[in-house]
Amino acid sequence: MGVDRLTSLIRDIPDFPEPGVVFKDITPVLGDGEALAILVDALAEPHKRSGITKVAGIEARGFTLATPVADRLNAGFIPVRKPGKLPHETMREDYTLEYGTDALEVHVDAVVDGEKVLLVDDVIATGGTAAAAVRLLRAVGADVVGFAVFIELGFLGGAEKLDGVPLHALVRYD
Ligand code: AMP
């Protein structure tokens, strides 16, 4: 079973969470033990010899993939969370959504200066969330060496927002 089989397990949910959005539901992939192992291996594989010591996941679906990817790379895990969720001192990054703004936070001591960090999420759409996470991780001293994502919605152009961080997507929809 390869990446093609993963693609067949991605479920399109029209008009979720709002009208006009086709939500890429990855729960059938996460719920299949064999598919999950293939997904985590495929996300980690290109980064095995990159000297990555931390993997950052974006709340909440990013957590489910970033932690096992970190384990595959013998690296630690960093949670990038919505405001008010992290208990220790944090740094905050605001970003613009289609309607309104949102924000992400990370612990100020999440990395040591210059530490190589891989960012992981399930989907890149407009790229606003990932771009904010990159700025935030850099602000606390990380060297963000890549962004590994399961699904890229290529028609939304998110890859161009990543300020030079290489994107590695397993499945791309154009
Ligand atoms: P973005 O527009 O790239 O900032 O996307 C914001 C977040 O929403 C990402 O972390 C994705 O997990 C999620 N997301 C956006 N669009 C979709 C979609 N069509 N299907 C599933 N998740 C999505």
CA dihedral over 48, 25, 59, 164, signed as positive or negative = positive
Residue 25 pLDDT exceeds 80? yes
CA of 6 relative to ligand 1 center, distance in Å: 18
Mutate to test the pocket of ligand 1, among 15, 99, 101, 123 (most ligand atoms within 8 A of CB): 123
Architecture of the domain defined by 50-173: 3-Layer(aba) Sandwich (3.40)
Residue 97: per-residue pLDDT? 81
Residue 10: per-residue pLDDT? 98
The whole-angstrom separation of Cα 78 and Cα 56 is 4
The yes-or-no answer on residue 61 being catalytic is yes
What's the whole-number average pLDDT of the chain?
Answer: 96
Cβ(66) – ligand 1 distance below 6 Å: no
CA of 104 relative to ligand 1 center, distance in Å: 14
| pLDDT tens by residue, 134-174 | 999 999 999 999 999 999 999 999 999 999 999 999 999 99
Question: Which atom of ligand 1 lies at the shortest distance from residue 23's CA?
Answer: 20
pTM equals 0.96
Domain boundaries, the chain: 50-173
The yes-or-no answer on residue 98 being catalytic is yes
Ramachandran area for residue 109 (φ above 0: left; ψ -120 to 50: alpha; else beta): alpha
Cβ(151) – ligand 1 distance below 6 Å: no
Q: Whose structure tokens read 């990855």?
A: 26
9-13, 16-20, 115-119: the lowest-pLDDT one:
16-20
Mean pLDDT calculated for residue range 48-57: 97
CA of 73 relative to ligand 1 center, distance in Å: 25
